[in-house]
Structure 1
Amino acid sequence: MSGNTFGTLFCVTNFGESHGPAIGCVIDGCPPGMALSEADIQADLDRRRPGTSKFVTQRNEPDTVEILSGVYEGKTTGTPIALLIRNTDQRSKDYGNILQTFRPGHADYTYWQKYGIRDPRGGGRSSARLTAPTVAAGAVARKWLKERYGTTFRGHMTQVGELAIPFESWEHVPHNPFFAPVADTSAIEAYMNELRKSGDSCGARLRVTAQGMPVGLGQPLYDRLDADIAYAMLGLNAVKGVEIGAGFASVAHRGSTHGDSLTPEGFKGNNAGGVLGGISTGQDLEVQIAIKPTSSILIPRETIDTAGQPTEVITKGRHDPCVGIRATPIAEALLALVVMDHALLHRAQCGDVQLPTPDIAAQSRDG
């Protein structure tokens, strides 16, 4: 199976299955000399891992990461970094009833048509379980970018199902299981409890940002920074829409107001989401993603079996009623991987470029 490697200079190859003995990734291209330990990676994995609240799947995986190579005496060597996460709480018997049937909304049918064989246990390679290595690789990228440029990444949920979530403060995000920027999450909890009782699921909308961005990352044509961001986000399970900056709201804007005016003090706005002509402006990257409802639900649905005969399927097992709840750390990691790759590409091609003009994005940030 091809399509398991992401990136050009900072390459991440993902391996494993949801119910196999382990999952992981190999990072090739990480610069040498950076201090790196399991603890640097584990914090982000803990934010993503299952079993952390009653609102997500109760599969209880510790997601403990092991560094197998690429680090010597606590520092990266410039050689491939192999990261391993062992699966310890598989329940493959939960999937015995779907061996010969296709679950609506899942990749069962397309996998079977493409490869002639599929792993039904938790979805195999199509499982959101495989986002854990992505988060691990993203943690490595985040550390390098923060030390090199001061770039930081964070995200939050803006909507769950029909329920819009207003933005109050970033300080609330780490203190609830929804990554919601509000102090009172009782309305979200009530909504999710009702959803769980019904056996149904819902989608979500997330916002993720990168602050302290360097100027000049990205290319003006095929390797645009915003295009690669969209490519990465659409590689995340269940993502069906990506917006950069004002996104689809741009349709209702006028050209006289949409363009972010430049002044000696900096940009007046950020409708562009931190990217102009495919190249970073130095402003915050602003990305929003739309996540579809979880396909694994307890409500019976029509389907067919491998013989093409009509049947009915109920997806048993442990599943997130909203996969968007745990998606924020994954979206942050994907954004970090894109920025990391483009930072190395920019350094390789344009590292010696010097301009007399000021960095107006930096002036915007500094006030």
Structure 2
Amino acid sequence: MAGNSFGKAFVLTTWGESHGKALGAVIDGCPAGLPLNEKDLLVEMVLRRPGRKYTTPRREPDLPQILSGVFNGRTTGTPISVVVFNKDVVSDYYETIKETPRPGHADLTYIKKYGYENWDYRGGGRASGRETLGRVIGGAIAKKLLSCLGVVVTGNVIELGGREFPRARDVEEGLRARLSPFRVIEGDDKAEEVIRKALEERDSVGGVVEVVAWRVPPGLGEPVFDKLKADLAKALLSIPAAVGFELGEGFQLAKLRGSEARDPFVTSEGDIVTEGQRSGGVLGGISVGGDVRVKVAFKPTSSIMIPVKTVNVNTLEEEELKVPGRHDPAIVLRAVAVTEAMVAVTLVDHAIRAGYIHPNRIEWNYNCQRTWELYSDYLPRDAKEFIESLP
């Protein structure tokens, strides 16, 4: 039970290590008939790509290659395998600290579980945030499938280094955050100030991401252990550096009375819906029909230049460690793309199980295409130019 796969009807498996030859993903359960090429994957991958401003200086083009599951530009219903080769690997840093596990990272737990002699210490190995590249690949495919239901998944930073930023009130606002290098709806100057201050002090900051899946159909989620909220929690807390999950108003509800915490039912366009978003669009673990809102908290990057106490695994002597290497001052910025991906993968898995998406094949039409194009419509200019420059 290695735990490298997620989902039941739509199964995402990621593989590879931070400093290995390549990383990638295998997606099993994608229906036939979905138009798919590498540029579709890049529409999402460019937003988690390293090397941009205020991210790790590691320069990776992150160009995906589809190896299987696609023929004549459409999915065949068989497993889709995608590979991304690492291009900018510098492992020398880690040779000097391989005997001193980095506090805040998975170094010590991997050593204790698998043995020091079997541990890939280069950049965190399998536990590196670079593993999430495969998640975003799966998320891109999931988002495109959800387009046929009219569902759009957006995410934005609502807290950075303790400072709060606006939440999305509609689809357009949610998509607009894709244009910001800080993934905020507004307040780029404030976000930059937070990160620059941390960099000046050789430190890092954490934050909170809110993801909204707009116009989710009712009935997604299974009783009792496969509740939609349970699978969303597992999907999102499995992301490296994720330390907290909330559905709707989450922990704030614990401060209210029952008369305040519940969402009244009202009618809208001939349907019964909730008035308000306290429940996050899920009741009894099943989607009500409408928007689903979740929040994920991410801790600050642990690899910083400020010294920290650790222990040498061979001598058992305490040492002071100053972590070298190339790291994000605010991993939450690139984590937005990953949280969106995992929400999309979870929703597609349940949409297939609930019968909203046929497990064998789909009919791709104009409405599907137009919904999918919203994602590429809201891309920074440099990201658009990068994708358009590729053959």
Structure 1 and Structure 2 fold alike (TM over 0.5): yes
Q: Distance between the aligned counterparts of 2:6 and 2:65, measured in 1? A: 21
Q: Which residue of 2 aligns with 1:122?
A: 123
Q: Is the 8 Å Cα contact of residues 270 and 283 (structure 1) preserved in structure 2?
A: no
Q: Which residue of 2 aligns with 1:284?
A: 291
Q: Distance between the aligned counterparts of 2:250 and 2:328, measured in 1? A: 28
Are 1:296 and 2:315 an aligned pair? no
User: By how many angstroms is 1:260 displaced?
Assistant: 1.2
Q: How does 1:57-76 map to 2 (within 5 A)?
A: 57-76=56-75
Could you give the per-residue CA deviations for residues 190-245 of structure 1, whole angstroms, max 9, x where no partner exists?
A: 22112112111111111001012111010121000001000000000111100001
Could you give the per-residue CA deviations for residues 119-150 of structure 1, whole angstroms, max 9, x where no partner exists?
A: 11110000000101100111001101112x11
Q: Distance between the aligned counterparts of 1:264 and 1:64, measured in 2? A: 47
Corresponding residue SS for 2:43? helix
Q: How does 1:257-336 map to 2 (within 5 A)?
A: 257-265=260-268, 266-307=273-314, 308-336=316-344
Q: Which residue of 2 aligns with 1:355?
A: none
Could you give the per-residue CA deviations for residues 31-66 of structure 1, whole angstroms, max 9, x where no partner exists?
A: 11111111111110001100111x110101111111
Q: Is the 8 Å Cα contact of residues 167 and 210 (structure 2) preserved in structure 1?
A: no
Q: Is the 8 Å Cα contact of residues 203 and 304 (structure 2) preserved in structure 1?
A: yes
* Alignment CA distance shift 1:209-1:167 (3 Å): closer
* Alignment CA distance shift 1:29-1:350 (3 Å): closer
Of the candidates 164, 172, 179, which is equivalent to residue 175 of structure 1? Answer: 179
User: By how many angstroms is 1:349 displaced?
Assistant: 12
Q: Which residue of 2 aligns with 1:358?
A: none
Q: Percent identity?
A: 42
Q: Distance between the aligned counterparts of 1:109 and 1:284, measured in 2? A: 40
Aligned residue type for 1:339: L
Q: Distance between the aligned counterparts of 2:85 and 2:71, measured in 1? A: 22
Aligned residue type for 2:93: D
The 4+ residue runs of structure 1 with deviation greater than 4 A are: 348-351
Are 1:30 and 2:30 an aligned pair? yes
Q: Distance between the aligned counterparts of 2:95 and 2:200, measured in 1? A: 24
Q: Which residue of 2 aligns with 1:166?
A: 166
Q: Distance between the aligned counterparts of 1:85 and 1:218, measured in 2? A: 33
> Gapped runs of 5+ residues in structure 2?
360-391
Q: Which residue of 2 aligns with 1:196?
A: 199
Q: Is the 8 Å Cα contact of residues 156 and 209 (structure 2) preserved in structure 1?
A: yes
Aligned residue type for 1:231: K
* Alignment CA distance shift 1:94-1:202 (3 Å): same
> Gapped runs of 5+ residues in structure 1?
352-367
Q: Which residue of 2 aligns with 1:18?
A: 18
Q: Distance between the aligned counterparts of 1:47 and 1:32, measured in 2? A: 27
Q: Is the 8 Å Cα contact of residues 244 and 272 (structure 1) preserved in structure 2?
A: yes
Q: How many residues align?
A: 348
Q: Distance between the aligned counterparts of 2:165 and 2:348, measured in 1? A: 30
Q: Distance between the aligned counterparts of 1:349 and 1:203, measured in 2? A: 36
Aligned residue type for 2:205: C
Report the TM-score when normalising by structure 2. 0.86
Corresponding residue SS for 1:47? coil
CA RMSD in angstroms comes to 1.7
Corresponding residue SS for 2:81? strand
User: By how many angstroms is 1:332 displaced?
Assistant: 0.3
Q: Distance between the aligned counterparts of 2:162 and 2:262, measured in 1? A: 31
Corresponding residue SS for 1:227? helix
Q: Is the 8 Å Cα contact of residues 203 and 323 (structure 1) preserved in structure 2?
A: yes
Which structure exhibits the higher relative contact order, with contacts defined as CA atoms closer than 8 Å and separated by 6 or more residues? 2
* Alignment CA distance shift 1:350-1:333 (3 Å): closer
Report the TM-score when normalising by structure 1. 0.92
